[in-house]
A and B are shown apart, each in its own frame.
Chain A
Amino acid sequence: MKQPLSGLKVADFSWFGAGPICGENLASFGATVVRVESESHPDGLRGVAPFAAGKTGFNVSGYFNNYNAGKLDLTLNLNTDLGRKMLLKLVAWCDIFLTNHTPRVIERWNISYDELKKVNPQLIGVYQPMQGFEGPHRYFMGFGAVLGPITGYSYLSGFPHRPPMGLGTNYPDYVINPGHTLIGILAALRHRKKTGEGQLVELAQIESSVSPLAPAIMDYAANGRIQCRAGNRLPHAAPHGAFRCKDSTWNNQPEDRWIALGVFDDAQWAALVEAMGSPAWARDAKFATLAARKQHEDELEAALTEWTREQTAEEVMALLQSKGVPAGVVQNARDMLEDEHLKARGYYVYLDHPEAGVTAYDGPPFRLSKTPGVLRTPAPLLGQHNEQVCKEILGMTDEEIAEALIEQALY
Chain B
Amino acid sequence: MPDAALSDLRIIDLAGEIGVYCTKLLADLGADVIRIEPPDGDPLRDIGPFWHDEQAADRSLLFFNFNTNKRSVTLDITRPEGRALFEKLVAGADVVVETYKPGYLDALGLGYDGLSAIKPGIILTSVTGFGQDGPHAHYTWSDIVGVAMSGVMTLAGDKEDPPNMPYPSQGYIGAGIQAAAGTLMAVWHRDNTGEGQHVDVSMQEALSINQETAMQTYDMLKAIRTRTGARGLIPIDIPGIGVYECADGQVFAYLGSPGGAPWTVMLDWMNREGKAEDLNEEPYISLIRELHLRFLTSLTQEPAKLPERIKNLGHIYGVFSRFCATMPKWTLYEEGQKQRLMFGIVSTPEDLAKNPQLKARHWLQQVDHDHLGATVDYAGPPYRLHETPWAIRSRAPLPGEHNADVFTGELGLSAQELASLREQQVI
Contact = CB atoms under 8 A, between A and B. Distances in A.
Interface of A: 4-5, 21, 25, 29, 48-53, 62-63, 65-66, 131-132, 134-142, 145-159, 162-171, 174-176, 179-184, 186-191, 193, 195, 197, 199-204, 206-208, 210-223, 225-229, 231-232, 234-237, 240-244, 250, 255, 258, 260-262, 264, 321, 324-337, 339-342, 344-345, 347-348, 356, 359-360, 362-363, 365-371
B361 A220 contact: no
Nearest to A186: B184
B218 interface: yes
A362 B208 contact: yes
A225 B50 CA distance: 11
Nearest to A50: B217
Which of B48, B167, B218 has the most chain A CB within a 10 Å cutoff? Answer: B167
Given A206-B358, A324-B140, A217 B164 contact: no
Contacts of B161: 159, 162
B251 interface: yes
Contacts of B385: 184, 187-188, 191, 199-202
8 contacts: A171-B166, A200-B386, A221-B376, A236-B46, A321-B136, A332-B224, A342-B205, A348-B215
**7 residue pairs, one from A and one from B, having the closest CB atoms:** A62-B216, A366-B182, A260-B148, A214-B379, A221-B377, A179-B177, A186-B184
Contacts of A329: 148-149
B254 to A, nearest CB: 6
Contact of A167 (B53, B155, B197, B360): B155
Which of A146, A204, A339 has the most chain B CB within a 10 Å cutoff? Answer: A146
B219 A360 contact: yes
Contacts of A264: 142
Contacts, number: 501
B206 to A, nearest CB: 5
Contact of A360 (B21, B215, B360): B215
A236 B48 contact: yes
Interface stretch (B59-67, B83-91, B304-312, B411-419): B59-67
Contacts of B188: 4-5, 186, 189-190
A66 B209 contact: yes
Interface in B297-356: 333-334, 337, 340, 342-353, 356
Given A232-B144, A242-B148, A336-B211, 13 more contacts: A62-B213, A63-B216, A164-B250, A168-B156, A175-B174, A183-B383, A187-B385, A210-B352, A213-B167, A223-B49, A236-B47, A333-B151, A362-B215
Nearest to A323: B140
A362 B379 CA distance: 31
Contact of A333 (B64, B140, B218, B352): B218
Nearest to B59: A222
B70 interface: no
A130 to B, nearest CB: 10
B167 A345 contact: no
B167 A218 contact: no
B178 A168 contact: no
Interface string B143-154: 111111111111
Contacts of B254: 145-146
Nearest to B210: A174
Nearest to B363: A207
A222 B252 contact: no
A141 B260 contact: yes
Contacts of B379: 210-211, 213-214, 217-218
A230 B378 CA distance: 23
Contacts of B207: 175
B117 to A, nearest CB: 16
Given A366-B178, A366-B181, A337 B219 contact: yes
A273 B334 CA distance: 53
Contact of A191 (B155, B212, B388): B388
A286 B394 CA distance: 44
A242 B179 CA distance: 27
Contacts of A175: 174, 177-178, 206-207, 209-210
A225 B361 contact: no
Given A4-B188, A147-B344, A188-B5, A159 B378 contact: no
Nearest to B346: A149
B382 interface: yes
B151 A332 contact: yes
Contact of B167 (A142, A149, A216): A216
Contacts of A212: 21, 170, 173
Contacts of B337: 137, 139-141
B204 interface: yes
Nearest to B130: A341
B406 interface: no
Given A132-B361, A262-B145, A366-B179, A52 B201 contact: no
Contacts of A139: 337
B373 interface: no
Given A164-B250, A165-B230, A179-B177, A223 B197 contact: no
Given A162-B157, A182-B181, A337 B218 contact: yes
Which of B61, B216, B224, B378 has the most chain A CB within a 10 Å cutoff? Answer: B216
A204 B384 contact: yes
A221 B354 CA distance: 10
B237 interface: no
B348 A162 contact: no
A139 B361 CA distance: 14
A184 B26 CA distance: 10
Nearest to B26: A183
A168 B347 contact: no
Contacts of B112: 369
A215 B61 contact: yes
B179 to A, nearest CB: 7
B151 A331 contact: yes
A231 B142 CA distance: 16
B216 A360 contact: yes
B158 interface: yes
